[in-house]
A = this chain, B = another copy of it.
Amino acid sequence: MKKNSKAAIVEAAITLFNINGFNGTSTRDIANKANVNVANISYHFQNKHGLLEYCFTTYYEAYLNEIENGFLYLHEGATLCLKKITENILNYQSKNIHLTRFILREMSIDSQVVREIMSTYLLKERFYFKKVFEEGMARKEFRSFSINYMIIQLKGLLTMPFLNTHYITEVLHVFPYERYFTEKYVKEIYNWIDGVIRNESSERVPTLVK
């Protein structure tokens, strides 16, 4: 039963954090929603901050895993590799849509946890993106561009619909909870990769060489 209560606590916490924010949620609220004792939360996570840290690290461990799985395709070409990575990220975020929204919002705050996450996980994320971009430029698959500014664009595109689910539902009538959303959005990112990142002549280069 121990494991179930842990999962129930995490699920209740994510729901409440998304509604009332981290500061607006008490350990007691979480315990009530998860149908457990406050002592149970202390046992698993010490306190609310421990719970927050747990959410962050489990999220970013799995997130980096998705990037690493895509990164394995680098020898088959930088474009293919970047597409794999973005597809993996979008699928992962889509499968964890509530947690993703909460994490993305928390990441915009300047806190101790956020700084730690940045200096471990997001630096690694940057490392992979940079490698792919550099490889793509070296092979002339990609145009020459500023890597950091391109990461800003890429991360903006990857996160927007998951952070702003209400906006895209209410204003744009696009429903991120529906299955076809991710499929369609993956294609949008592919178009961005082809239109902004890829060298227009990159298709012809391998043919000429062969």
* A159 pairs with B161, CB closer than 8 A: no
Interface of A is mostly: helix
Q: Are A167 and B122 interface neighbours, CB within 8 A?
A: yes
Q: From the candidates B19, B148, B173, B196, name the one contacting A192 in the complex (CB within 8 A).
A: B196
Give Cα distance in the complex from A78 to B160, angstroms. 24
**What is the interface size of chain A, counting residues whose CB is below 8 A from a CB of the partner?**
51
Contact with B along A102-119 (1 / 0, CB 8 A): 001101111000110011
> Is A20 interfacial (CB 8 A cutoff)?
yes
Chain A 139-169, CB-CB to B under 8 Å as 1, else 0, gives 0000000101111110111011101101110
B149→A174 contact, CB < 8 A: yes
A167 to B115, CA, bound (A): 9
A69-113 CB mask vs B (1 if < 8 Å, else 0) is 000000000000000000000000000000001001101111000
The answer to whether the Cβ of A207 comes within 8 Å of any Cβ in the partner chain is no
Q: Does A171 contact B (CB under 8 A)?
A: yes
Are the C-beta atoms of B23 and A166 separated by less than 8 Å?
Answer: no
For residue A121, which residue of chain B has the nearest CB?
B171
Query: Which A164-207 residues sit within 8 Å CB-CB of chain B?
Result: 164, 166-168, 170-174, 184-185, 188, 191-192, 195-196
- Determine the residue in chain B with the shortest Cβ distance to A21: B23
In the complex where A160-B152, A196-B191 touch, is A118 in contact with B173 (Cβ < 8 A)? no
Could you tell me the distance between the alpha carbons of A167 and B20 in the complex, rounded to whole angstroms?
A: 24
B166 and A152 within 8 A (CB): no
A148 near B174 with CB under 8 A, answer yes
The 7 lowest CB-CB distance pairs between A and B, nearest first, are A156-B160, A23-B24, A195-B195, A156-B156, A148-B172, A195-B196, A23-B23
- Given A115-B166, A126-B172, A153-B160; 6 other pairs, CB 8 A cutoff: A18-B110, A109-B166, A149-B174, A149-B184, A153-B192, A156-B161
